[in-house]
Structure 1
Amino acid sequence: MKHHFFKALITSAVLATGAGTAATAAECIAPANPGGGWDFTCRQIGKIMFDIGAVDQPVQVTNMAGAGGGLAFSHVVNDQNDNADLIIAASSATTTRLAQNAYAGMTADQVRFVGAIGADPGVIVVAKDSPIQNLTDMVDMIKADPSSVAFAGGSAVGGFDHMKPLMILQKADFTDIKSIKYIGVDGGADAITQTVGGFTQAMTGDMSEVVGFVKSGEVRVIAVLTEERVPGFEDIPTAKEQGFDVVAVNWRGLYVPKGISDEKFEEWAGKLQQVADSDEWKAAMEANGLAPFTKVGGDFQSYVDGLIADINTMSKELGVIQ
């Protein structure tokens, strides 16, 4: 039933966009309405690919909102499995939903993840006067008394913000994740307010949500969840530096249909790498508050596979999924 529902929605979505472009022009599906993160990914990456000569025609963008990305995913798997001229915008939300079986039973191995070339870094934040100075302090407090540290985040229970501190605790061999207090609120600003006000001991979210509060001195970021320190915030240590090998970012990237050839997959990976290396993409990241995060080809697929496995396991432990 869900499949037929998706098919009906796909038909209307494609008709609405007037998708009848030249066969040789690449298409990028943004699984959301214009204006959001997936739309930004398609339009910026597609434009830069053409501007730098990675493709010889402008990339056509099709907006296909529905089911939190599930409509587009279903369309690609069922109807475009061997379309070598198709790329699809993706982010951390894509992998979280796949890990939690939110796409009507579809799985991540039904497509191929090409790469990510920018990200909003994950952060763990405390109030300016908090006794917690670093991740070790936080983990030690939780191990001594799991109820001593409550987190606020802008995603629902089981969402990506919730998962970030749990990933850190997992690396510290703490397994009783159901005992961790998490309050899901309406966005990062509300989560910061909870922490500044003393209602929670820490906030879990993205760098873009906390920059203003950091600059005003209301909070301290005790860890950024990236491979390397974030440009402009070099005084904030990574979780990896502190002994917790966790990379959790809201990455911006692409997947492609599974049925395309390895040669075509590598070709798309190369084009994405060209964008990542361009001055145009560096300017786009700076203008939109993204940090460098480049994983392309097989390296990125391995990262996605590991992330989905971790989130799936923790989601089951939390009771978010069966």
Structure 2
Amino acid sequence: MLLARFGAAFCVAASFVAPAFAQSQIDNPECIAPANPGGGFDLTCRIAQTGLDPHVDAPVQVTFMPGGIGAVAYNLFNTSRTDDGSAIVAFSTGSLLNIVTGKYGEFTEKDVRWVGTAGADFGAVVVRADSEYKDLSHLMSDFSADPASVVVGAGGSVGSQDWMKGALLLREAGASPVDMRYVAFDGGGDAIAALLGGSIEVYMGDVGEMVPHVESGQMRLLAVLSPERLDAPFAEIPTAIEQGFDVEWTILRGFYMGGDVSDSDYQKWVDAFNAAYATDAFAQVQKEKGLLPLNLAGDELQTSIEKRVQNLRDIATEAGLIN
């Protein structure tokens, strides 16, 4: 809550300056990046460290806890640190996929408390500028008639996030994800080179990485897999949803806490995130770190995570990745 301004005489006499923001009182706030320094989890914690600074009463410290692409941290916060009210842990949509496919052991998405988001990137359906596919409907028609007639590629193996984007499109086209003709590459750069070289016809990428390629005129986005249209430079690109195909892929980055954290401690973090989301400064931090705004905290994020995980579980089951 902002404090009211008082007269100049009072300000001179006052022995303190009122803070610009109400601050959550969190003892020794910590963000755990479940990986080595550098990479997405580190980036996620740095957004919390910088973006929440005006909204918590002590600096957020970043700690690294590598192991199992998040598995070590997830297990720790489901065993010995389940009630730690001072710590948040970074996660991504890839973490949710690991939960679904059992890579985090016996624990599920219901064993932790999802706190807030750092931002997001979104999936994109990409073709060469001279591709025969001028819109998503044409591609979906071919997926429906003969899924194996289209060569799809991306920087991830079967069951990865990039593979999941293609699987969702095939399912929406009435085809089975197991029938997708998919080529896996070591990374997005290799997949883009294959697209430009003609080895694949469709690249399942992310919006954030496409800016220079779209501006160069070499590639075209048939759709962004976001809930709504994005701002420039993607404002003219329709979503899959508005083209009649209920497919969304959000690469979500955010934070969770142990499942036994008190409501009071949990709410302090939620309040801090909501306060940050209301500022231009937080949006600037997201932009500088290459993320797009997707600001969810508390119950809103909890509901969103449950829906996303169930969707992942359905696709993974249909594709034979899990029973």
TM-score of the superposed pair, with normalisation by structure 1: 0.87
Deviations 1:155-199 (A, max 9, x none): 111001110122233334x24211111111111111112222222
Distance 1:138 1:94 in 2: 30
2:44 is equivalent to residue 41 of structure 1: yes
Amino acid at match of 2:317: K
Where does the alignment leave 5 or more consecutive residues of structure 2 unmatched? 1-25
Cα RMSD for the two superposed structures:
1.7
Conserved 8 A contact 1:188-1:210: no
Match of 1:156, SS state, is coil
Match of 1:222, SS state, is strand
Match of 1:118, SS state, is strand
Match of 1:61, SS state, is strand
For 2:226, the equivalent position in structure 1 comes to 226
Distance 2:286 2:254 in 1: 13
Amino acid at match of 1:42: C
For 2:28, the equivalent position in structure 1 comes to 25
Kindly report which structure 2 residues correspond to 1:53-64, keeping only aligned pairs within 5 A, or say none.
54-64=55-65
Match of 1:236, SS state, is coil
Deviations 1:26-85 (A, max 9, x none): 1111101111111111122123212x2x11001121100101100011111101111111
For 2:77, the equivalent position in structure 1 comes to 76
For 1:101, the equivalent position in structure 2 comes to 102
Where does the alignment leave 5 or more consecutive residues of structure 1 unmatched? 1-22
How far does residue 236 in structure 1 lie from its aligned partner after superposition?
A: 1.0
Kindly report which structure 2 residues correspond to 1:1-322, keeping only aligned pairs within 5 A, or say none.
24-50=27-53, 52=54, 54-172=55-173, 174-232=174-232, 233-322=234-323
Comparing 136-145 with 298-307, which one deviates more in the overlay?
298-307
Residues 155, 127 of structure 1: CA spacing in aligned structure 2 closer, same or farther, 3 A cutoff? same
Distance 1:259 1:244 in 2: 39
Deviations 1:185-219 (A, max 9, x none): 11111111222222211000212222221111111
Bigger radius of gyration among the two: 2
For 1:12, the equivalent position in structure 2 comes to none
Aligned length: 297
How far does residue 272 in structure 1 lie from its aligned partner after superposition?
A: 1.4
Comparing 71-80 with 133-142, which one deviates more in the overlay?
133-142
Conserved 8 A contact 1:226-1:248: yes
Distance 2:248 2:265 in 1: 28
Distance 1:279 1:73 in 2: 32
Conserved 8 A contact 1:142-1:149: yes
How far does residue 293 in structure 1 lie from its aligned partner after superposition?
A: 1.3
For 1:15, the equivalent position in structure 2 comes to none
Match of 1:223, SS state, is strand
Distance 2:248 2:278 in 1: 21
For 2:14, the equivalent position in structure 1 comes to none
Match of 2:126, SS state, is strand
Conserved 8 A contact 2:100-2:309: yes
Identical aligned pairs, as a percentage?
36
How far does residue 139 in structure 1 lie from its aligned partner after superposition?
A: 1.0
How far does residue 291 in structure 1 lie from its aligned partner after superposition?
A: 1.2
Conserved 8 A contact 1:269-1:297: yes
Match of 1:274, SS state, is helix
Match of 2:88, SS state, is strand
Q: Segments of 4+ in structure 1 off by > 3 A?
A: none
Conserved 8 A contact 1:117-1:276: no
Distance 1:250 1:41 in 2: 12
Match of 1:65, SS state, is coil
Deviations 1:244-276 (A, max 9, x none): 233312221111111123343333222112222
Distance 2:88 2:99 in 1: 18
Higher helix share: 1
How far does residue 116 in structure 1 lie from its aligned partner after superposition?
A: 1.9
How far does residue 284 in structure 1 lie from its aligned partner after superposition?
A: 1.8
Distance 2:277 2:156 in 1: 28
Residues 88, 190 of structure 1: CA spacing in aligned structure 2 closer, same or farther, 3 A cutoff? same
Distance 1:48 1:169 in 2: 38
